[in-house]
Amino acid sequence: MNQSVVDQQHAPASDVAHPSALPDAAHLQVAALQMVSAPDLDHNLLRAEALIAEAAGLGAQLISLPEYFCLLGWRDTDKVALREDFGHGPIQSFLSEMAKRHQVWLAGGTIPLQCEDARRVRNSQLMIDPQGRVLARYDKIHLFGFHKGAERFTESDTIQAGSSPVLCDLGPWRLGLSICYDLRFPELYRRLAPVDLLLVPSAFTYTTGQAHWEVLLRARAIENQCYVLAAAQGGEHPNGRRTWGHSMIIDPWGEVLGQQAQGEAVVIARLDRTRIGEVRGMLPALAHRVL
């Protein structure tokens, strides 16, 4: 286990990890993988493997999986049974192998990691470098709660919240990590700013996604004047759950560069660092902050 990665999870947002520089400092090819995950780990890993290979074949240097890519179980407690110790386990080994095989940076959606409470897990995003090493770990801070008729979600029943914002650097590209419901809390992104790219792997419900998904993602891109990479679950799952999908990549002006409504897909785009400078130069909102 890399001790510096463990320390980073509990450090201020200014503490970051630094891998080797990317081949092209001016541009970054990114991919958001959309999945329709099932209650079967092996099935989900096979589907993720195929999508990662497709994205790498299209030239992606950074690939993001969606939240719960490895399992959307029959019951919320199914993910607790699947939990792994940080640094060990088949899901983490899979992510490491995929990153090494395809020589990409791989944002591992979320996986269930062990926590102090045996009844719960951490819902964790791992950033894996092309050598298969964990560059950064972020534990989801904000836990989803939603009650509308038969739709009832209380993530705090099975998830222990994280507490620390996390940044990581891919060469000159500064990334801010977040997960799904975090999207509704702009103060988290202000803690991370300024960044070049925000990651938001998600499993938005169809109801909440239809109402708020795109407007929230575009708002985070606009107010932080950065790119947003949002890989999502999108479709009807065997457990009866329906997720909104619409995985997308958004530029610092709020323009959608790529999007997939439903079903498995690779959404890919080429990020240009000069676009960030252009937007911040003509409208220096970040420099005008007073609070």
Q: Catalytic residue positions?
A: 67, 140, 180
Q: Is 151 helix (H, G, I), strand (E, B) or coil?
A: strand
**Within the chain, what is the greatest distance between any pair of CA atoms?**
51
For helices 41-57 and 90-102, the axis angle rounded to 10 degrees is 20
Rounded Cα distance between 288 and 277, Å, is 15
Rounded Cα distance between 94 and 109, Å, is 13
Rounded Cα distance between 23 and 28, Å, is 9
Give how far the C-alpha of residue 53 lies from the chain's centroid of Cα atoms, to the nearest Å: 18
Q: How many CB atoms lie within 10 A of CB 118?
A: 9
Residue from 243, 217, 221, 248 nearest 32 by CA? 248
Q: What's the token pair of residue 66?
A: 């969606």
Sheet order of strands, 167-170 included: 167-170, 173-177, 197-199, 227-230, 247-250, 256-260
- The HSE-up count of residue 219 (CA atoms within 13 Å, CB side) is 12
Rounded Cα distance between 51 and 40, Å, is 17
Beta bridge partners of 152: 147
Residues 6 or more apart whose CB falls under 8 angstroms from that of 46 comprise: none
Continuous segment of H or E residues that includes residue 191: helix 186-192
